[in-house]
């Protein structure tokens, strides 16, 4: 077996999995205000940008070879119904317009969820202490339409309500956006690895947890049911999240379905690598590229990763 491993050129020739910047999507946090760049403490290298700074960051991303971003909004004010999520003048809607105007070739995906916009931090409308599925689905569809109206290239619902893909697809078609793809966060687990994101997005639930709507980390077959349902409901791409602890799920979904698969290397996966590298315990570049390659090898076509910009630079 060692004959084809002897030289770099031979290894390059027979490498099975390719990792390139075109596979990577950079998540970006948008805040209101002007000239704001706030570092996220638990995610070294990640900042929350006001719109003008976001547009500047997008230039750097494009220069590094990253061609797609996914936006998360942190509104100035939150309320019970998460109304900032579907406000025409909301922080994400304004950011999409600004980005598409300055960088028309950049693919702008929006995260569709209520958790960053609700005062209680849950992903939907709360009634009697529980997230109400069907009311939430209506609010999510409204949110998705407002993103498409602003010019989003794709919408990515991450709420894990039942039936939301069908509702969003239907509304998009009805309201003049038949060509806007839906990227479904299909197998989204109730994961401890979202911790740093919740600091960044100020979206930690005030009471309870998300186990009533996000998936149990112990289940894999259920992920296939989720992904198939989303495809039947009209999803153009399905996602598994987190990525590295769920490589088996990525592989299973890949083998079961023909749609493109995305995987989300989440905040905790990023922060672990950053922390170990900071302590000198890991070679960051090698470890990060190995993790990303493994996610591709498992079957992901697209990877959402906070490493997108850095990895793109390393890969050039
Ligand atoms: C919900 C959402 C979350 C993430 C992406 N979309 C957080 C959650 O469910 O608590 C997590 C991403 C990450 O950890 O990087 N809108």
pLDDT tens digits along 173-222: 999 999 999 999 999 999 999 999 998 888 888 888 999 999 999 999 99
Does 145 contact ligand 1 (Cβ within 6 A)? Answer: no
Q: Are 155 and 107 in contact (CB under 8 A)?
A: no
Q: Which residues contact 73 (CB under 8 A, 6 or more apart)?
A: 29, 30, 31, 84, 85, 90, 91, 92, 95, 116, 117
Burial track 178-208 (b if 16+ CB lie within 10 A, e otherwise): eebbbbbbbbbbebebbebbbbbbebebeee
The confidence score (pLDDT) of residue 202 equals 84
Distance CA 26, CA 70 (A): 6
How many angstroms does the Cα of residue 132 sit away from the middle of ligand 1? Answer: 19
The confidence score (pLDDT) of residue 116 equals 94
Count of C-beta atoms within a 10 Å radius of residue 220: 15
The confidence score (pLDDT) of residue 281 equals 98
Q: Which domains does the chain have, with CATH numbers?
A: 19-315 (3.20.20.70)
| Two structure tokens written together for 165 | 């893909």
Does 205 contact ligand 1 (Cβ within 6 A)? Answer: no
Distance CA 40, CA 49 (A): 11
Instruction: Determine the 3-state secondary structure of 210 from DSSP.
Output: coil
The confidence score (pLDDT) of residue 247 equals 98
Does 269 contact ligand 1 (Cβ within 6 A)? Answer: no
Q: Are 308 and 66 in contact (CB under 8 A)?
A: yes
Nearest CA owner, ligand 1 atom 11 = 194
Distance CA 39, CA 220 (A): 35
What is the residue-level pLDDT of the chain in tens, covering all 316 positions?
Answer: 999 999 999 999 999 999 999 999 999 999 999 999 999 999 999 999 999 999 999 999 999 999 999 999 999 999 999 999 999 999 999 999 999 999 999 999 999 999 999 999 999 999 998 999 999 999 999 999 999 999 999 999 999 999 999 999 999 999 999 999 999 999 999 999 999 999 888 888 888 899 999 999 999 999 999 999 999 999 999 999 999 999 999 999 999 999 999 999 999 999 999 999 999 999 999 999 999 999 999 999 999 999 999 999 999 8
CA dihedral 157, 160, 164, 169 (to 10 degrees): 30
The preferred substitution site among 71, 160, 194 for testing ligand 1, maximizing ligand atoms within 8 Å of CB, is 194
Q: Is 8 one of the annotated active-site residues of the chain?
A: no
The confidence score (pLDDT) of residue 8 equals 97
Q: Is 188 one of the annotated active-site residues of the chain?
A: yes
Does 125 contact ligand 1 (Cβ within 6 A)? Answer: no
The confidence score (pLDDT) of residue 201 equals 87
How many angstroms does the Cα of residue 173 sit away from the middle of ligand 1? Answer: 27
The confidence score (pLDDT) of residue 244 equals 98
Catalytic residue among 78, 100, 142, 188: 188
Distance CA 168, CA 136 (A): 12
Nearest atom of ligand 1 to the alpha carbon of 188:
9
């Amino acid at each position: 077996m060692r004959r084809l491993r002897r030289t770099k050129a031979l290894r390059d020739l027979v490498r099975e999995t390719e990792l390139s910047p075109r596979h990577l999507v950079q998540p970006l946090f948008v805040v209101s205000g002007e000239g704001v760049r706030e570092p996220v403490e638990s995610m070294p290298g990640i900042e929350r940008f006001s719109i003008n700074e976001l547009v500047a960051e997008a230039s750097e991303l494009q220069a590094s070879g990253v061609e797609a971003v996914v936006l998360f909004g942190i509104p100035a004010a939150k309320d019970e119904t998460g109304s900032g999520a579907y406000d025409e003048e909301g922080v994400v809607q304004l950011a999409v317009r600004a980005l598409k105007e300055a960088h028309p070739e950049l693919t702008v995906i929006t995260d569709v969820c209520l958790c960053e916009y609700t005062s209680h931090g849950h992903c939907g409308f709360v009634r009697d202490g529980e997230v109400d599925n069907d009311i939430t689905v209506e609010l999510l569809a409204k949110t998705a339409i407002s993103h498409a109206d602003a010019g989003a290239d794709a919408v990515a619902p991450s709420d894990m309500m039942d039936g939301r893909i069908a509702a969003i697809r239907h509304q998009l078609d009805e309201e003049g956006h038949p060509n806007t793809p839906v990227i479904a966060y299909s197998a989204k687990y109730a994961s401890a690895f979202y911790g740093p994101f919740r600091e960044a997005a100020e979206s930690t639930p005030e009471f309870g947890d998300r186990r009533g709507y996000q998936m149990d980390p112990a289940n894999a077959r259920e992920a296939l049911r989720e992904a198939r349902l989303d495809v039947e409901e009209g999803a153009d791409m399905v996602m598994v999240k987190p990525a590295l602890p769920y490589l088996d799920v990525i592989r299973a979904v890949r083998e079961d379905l023909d749609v493109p698969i995305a995987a989300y290397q989440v905040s905790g996966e990023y922060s672990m690598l950053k922390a170990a590298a900071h302590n000198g315990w890991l070679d960051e570049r090698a470890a990060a590229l190995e993790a990303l390659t493994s996610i591709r090898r498992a079957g992901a076509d697209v990877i959402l990763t906070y490493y997108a910009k850095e990895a793109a630079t390393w890969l050039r």
